[in-house]
Amino acid sequence: MNNTIIDLSLFDLVLVYGLVLVSVALARFNDVGQAREMLWASLRMVVQLLAVGYLLHLVFAVKSATAVMLILLVMGVFAVQAVAARVQNKMPCFYRVVGASIFAGCGLTTFFFCTLVIGLTPWYDPRYLIPLAGMIIGNSMTGASLAAERLAAEIKDRRDEIETALCLGATSRVACRDIVRSAFRAALIPSINSMAAMGIVFLPGMMTGQILSGTEPIIAVKYQIAIMCVITGSVALSSFLILIQGYRNYFTSAHQLRSDLE
């Protein structure tokens, strides 16, 4: 197998960026109102990835646990901000709930995978820890957004139903049981769809990248199976923590809906 990686020149990147410009032109031609957002997002992507590339080059050379943890912390903070930008109806104590849930869910699953499954030595090896944590956090953001958005929207829409259940003697947990289940189901749908279609409908980026870099296909497949299992676990755990903490913030200690949230 040829392990030589084909490098991309600046001209190659400019050439392929033309596809983004075509997409922007089509959006503007059809007046969908997203041309400027698409162009700005693409420019941000280029700048951010170039900055991360140079930063990771330095981190890989230094191999500092402190530097690695700082990078993971920044990634987590930006993930919470990205979730907040996607969610229109925000639950009470949104940043505390979502932040704690993402850090706990993603942190525990990443630690489990890197320490118990892969057995990194040292545990903070940036070549493994940072890319894997990035994939786990990035995919968990979608589940977290869906869980938080669905919870807030359904509690708002079904307020009368919840108050009726409370008047009949139900606790806040019982009154919100169906809402939490619905939100949790919605949070898991993207992960379930990805696993169901993976390998037949599309080849995931991690596996494709490993194969292009010269890794044996079966090894790349094993890593992809493992990372998808970890991502699914992270999405489920993060979303569950958001929902369990989130619905409680809508009620007083006496199991009454908070009037200041109307």
Note the pLDDT tens digit of each residue in 25-80. Answer: 998 888 877 888 889 999 999 998 888 888 888 877 777 888 889 989 999 999 99
The answer, yes or no, to whether residue 192 has pLDDT greater than 80, is: yes
Tell whether 38 and 68 lie within a shared domain.
no
CA 126 – CA 67 distance, rounded (Å): 9
Query: Last residue of some domain: 62, 82, 114?
Result: 62
Tell whether 10 and 53 lie within a shared domain.
yes
- Contact between residue 98 and residue 80 where contact means Cβ atoms under 8 Å apart: yes
Phi, psi of 184 (to 5 degrees): -65, -40
Residue 20: CB partners within 8 Å, gap ≥ 6?
Answer: 38, 39, 42
Tell whether 254 and 131 lie within a shared domain.
yes
In this prediction the pTM is: 0.82
Tell whether 58 and 86 lie within a shared domain.
no
**How much is the average pLDDT of 121-134?**
88
Query: Last residue of some domain: 62, 86, 105?
Result: 62
Sequence-ordered strand ranges (E) for the chain? none
Tell whether 51 and 97 lie within a shared domain.
no
Tell whether 13 and 106 lie within a shared domain.
no
The mean-pLDDT minimum among 63-67, 113-117, 179-183 falls in 63-67
CA 219 – CA 25 distance, rounded (Å): 41
Tell whether 121 and 185 lie within a shared domain.
yes
pLDDT tens digits along 201-239: 666 776 777 777 777 888 888 888 898 899 999 999 999
Counted domains in the chain? 2
b/e string for 231-253 if b means 16 or more Cβ within 10 A?
A: bbbbbbbbbbbbbebbbbebbee
CA 72 – CA 78 distance, rounded (Å): 10
CA 28 – CA 244 distance, rounded (Å): 42
What is residue 87's DSSP assignment?
Answer: -
Tell whether 43 and 153 lie within a shared domain.
no
The answer, yes or no, to whether residue 90 has pLDDT greater than 60, is: yes
Print the domain residue range for 28: 1-62
| Predicted pLDDT of residue 188 | 94
Tell whether 4 and 86 lie within a shared domain.
no
- Contact between residue 139 and residue 75 where contact means Cβ atoms under 8 Å apart: no
Tell whether 192 and 87 lie within a shared domain.
yes
| Predicted pLDDT of residue 2 | 54
**Helix, strand, or coil here: 202?**
strand
261 compared with 29, residue with greater pLDDT: 29
Residue 194: CB partners within 8 Å, gap ≥ 6?
Answer: 204, 228
Query: Last residue of some domain: 62, 83, 98?
Result: 62
Tell whether 34 and 90 lie within a shared domain.
no
Tell whether 171 and 97 lie within a shared domain.
yes
Per-residue confidence band for 262, with pLDDT thresholds at 50, 70 and 90: low
